[in-house]
């Protein structure tokens, strides 16, 4: 049973307090634009190139229409999901997002507090502004996964995985689509890369292997540490064969993030991976890709029921969660929406965003005649092009 009761929207209204933040994603984005400095805002909001993939992500959602069913007793609904043997209260997780201090001075510490308060799984990024140990401390016993950027220095990669395992992270999410940053025009215009200012490299600065590669400690010479980071961060030489190396490092479930091609989804399964995350990185990597939702539709036909399929890129509201699950996702990741909550209201802002999406999703389930996530399937949707 979910925690949000039946008349979800009544609970929201009846807090008796006018909301400090807008409820609409678009208004939040607008306010964040007004509040953050230009470079930080565009780093978060922007996409690669002409931002075609970013826009496609949204257009794809709009092409699918929900066809609600009636008279199906939806007074009690179960929106919990089971992933890798653990039950979570809703099919919603925090996407891994690095350098959160560009949105709020306490960055990840604030969003992780929100995650812990709501017991929503939190995926800490390799590129976080704080070390994975500090974030784990804040998360305490709340569900936590670690997102790995696979360094071209294998010992650093192994060390990060070991550190994550040691402080209680329960899964490793390997991001495959970013061995180098995409062509982000606004960031280039603004000459803005937070890492070059030493942001988002805390996990390296606190890594014993990384530090052993330096002649002097980062405290004495941060410039050399940043330079080394730029050389070690990405690993464009990786191939499917390298996954065996990662498997040897850990017994935790491993998920591959950034899968768009159905053949890659198949390879992930055949390589013994535990799950995949269908994602085009919020349209931040390759301009002009397939939308993440269209990729999901194709991939789930291939993989559904074999290993968990997670999804991100474009989720803004409850109806989007519903559509992604109906098209085969087991759970979804929230990205930019929580970053705007963080920018505008810190922990409380993040909590408000996540609670609203969950409540809106639960309500969409009820009003569409569905009481359990296992009931969701593509027959509950129709694509615009098939409407006559």
Ligand X SMILES: O=C(O)C(=O)c1ccccc1
Q: Binding to ligand FMN (CB under 6 A): which residues in 162-191?
A: 175
What residue has token string 């982000």? 184
Q: Pick the piece of the chain touching ligand FMN (CB under 6 A) from 156-164, 296-304, 310-318, 361-369.
A: 310-318
Question: Residue 310 forms beta bridges with which residues?
Answer: 277, 331
Q: Is 267 exposed, middle or buried (0-12, 13-18, 19+ CB in 10 A)?
A: middle
Residue 346: CB atoms within 10 A of its CB come to 20
Nearest to 235 by CA among 295, 166, 155, 172: 155
Q: Pick the piece of the chain touching ligand FMN (CB under 6 A) from 7-15, 226-234, 237-245, 276-284.
A: 276-284
Q: Are 240 and 193 in contact (CB under 8 A)?
A: no
- Does 336 belong to an annotated binding site? yes
What's the rounded Cα separation, in Å, for the pair 239 and 377? 34
Residue 147 interacts with which of ligand X, ligand FMN, none, CB < 5 to 8 Å by class:
ligand FMN
Q: For the window 110-149, what string marks contact with ligand X as x by the rule CB under 6 A?
A: -----------------x----------------------
Nearer to ligand FMN, 317 or 347 (CB): 317
What's the rounded Cα separation, in Å, for the pair 168 and 186? 37
Q: For the window 104-143, what string marks contact with ligand FMN as x by the rule CB under 6 A?
A: ---------------------x-x----------------
Which amino acids are annotated catalytic? 281
Q: How far is CA 340 from CA 23, 37, 139, 313, 380, in A?
A: 11, 13, 20, 15, 31
DSSP single-letter state for residue 141: T
Q: Which of 328, 335, 345, 346 binds ligand FMN (CB under 6 A)?
A: 335
Q: Are 195 and 229 in contact (CB under 8 A)?
A: yes
Q: Pick the piece of the chain touching ligand FMN (CB under 6 A) from 26-34, 114-122, 242-250, 313-321.
A: 313-321
Q: Is 281 in the site for ligand FMN (CB under 6 A)?
A: yes
Nearer to ligand X, 194 or 253 (CB): 194
Residue 95 interacts with which of ligand X, ligand FMN, none, CB < 5 to 8 Å by class:
ligand FMN
| Mode of pairing for the β-strands spanning 275-278 and 254-259 | parallel
Residue 40 interacts with which of ligand FMN, ligand X, none, CB < 5 to 8 Å by class:
none
Q: Binding to ligand X (CB under 6 A): which residues in 84-103?
A: 98-99
What is the rounded end-to-end Cα distance, in angstroms, of the chain?
38
Nearest to 333 by CA among 382, 274, 276: 276
Q: Is 101 in the site for ligand FMN (CB under 6 A)?
A: no
Binding site for ligand FMN (CB under 6 A): 43-44, 95-98, 125, 127, 147, 175, 257, 279, 281-282, 312-315, 335-336
Binding site for ligand X (CB under 6 A): 98-99, 127, 178, 181, 200, 281, 284
């Amino acid at each position: 049973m979910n925690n949000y009761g039946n008349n979800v929207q009544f609970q929201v209204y009846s807090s008796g307090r006018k909301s400090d933040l807008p409820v609409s994603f678009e208004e939040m984005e607008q306010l964040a634009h007004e509040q953050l400095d230009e470079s930080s805002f565009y780093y978060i909001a922007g996409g690669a190139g002409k931002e075609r993939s970013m826009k496609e992500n949204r257009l794809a959602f709009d092409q699918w229409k929900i066809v609600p069913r009636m008279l199906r007793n939806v007074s009690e609904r179960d929106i919990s999901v089971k992933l890798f043997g653990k039950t979570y209260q809703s099919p919603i997780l925090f996407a891994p997002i690095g350098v959160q201090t560009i949105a709020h001075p306490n960055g990840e510490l604030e969003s992780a507090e929100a995650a812990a308060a709501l017991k929503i799984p939190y995926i800490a990024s390799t590129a976080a502004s704080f070390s994975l140990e500090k974030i784990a401390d804040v998360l305490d016993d709340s569900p936590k996964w670690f997102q790995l950027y696979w360094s071209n220095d294998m010992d650093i990669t192994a060390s990060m995985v070991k550190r994550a395992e040691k402080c209680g992270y329960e899964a490793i999410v390997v991001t495959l689509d970013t061995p180098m940053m995409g062509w982000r025009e606004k960031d280039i215009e603004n000459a803005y890369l937070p890492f070059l200012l030493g942001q988002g490299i805390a996990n390296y600065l606190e890594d014993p292997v990384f530090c052993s590669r330096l002649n002097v400690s980062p405290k004495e010479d941060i410039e050399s540490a940043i330079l080394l980071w730029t050389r070690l961060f990405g690993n464009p030489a990786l191939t499917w064969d390298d996954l065996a190396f990662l498997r040897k490092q850990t017994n935790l479930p491993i998920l591959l993030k950034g899968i768009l091609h159905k053949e890659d989804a198949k390879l992930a399964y055949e390589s013994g991976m535990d799950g995949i995350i269908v994602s085009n990185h919020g349209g931040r990597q390759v301009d002009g890709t397939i939308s993440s939702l269209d990729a999901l539709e194709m991939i789930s036909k291939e993989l559904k029921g074999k290993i968990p399929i997670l999804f991100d890129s474009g989720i803004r509201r409850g109806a989007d969660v519903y559509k992604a699950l109906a098209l085969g996702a087991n759970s979804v990741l929230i990205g930019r929406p929580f970053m705007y909550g963080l920018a505008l209201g810190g922990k409380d802002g993040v909590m408000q965003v996540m609670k609203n999406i969950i409540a809106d999703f639960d309500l969409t389930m009820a009003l569409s005649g569905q009481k359990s996530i296992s009931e969701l399937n593509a027959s509950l949707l129709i694509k615009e092009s098939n409407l006559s």
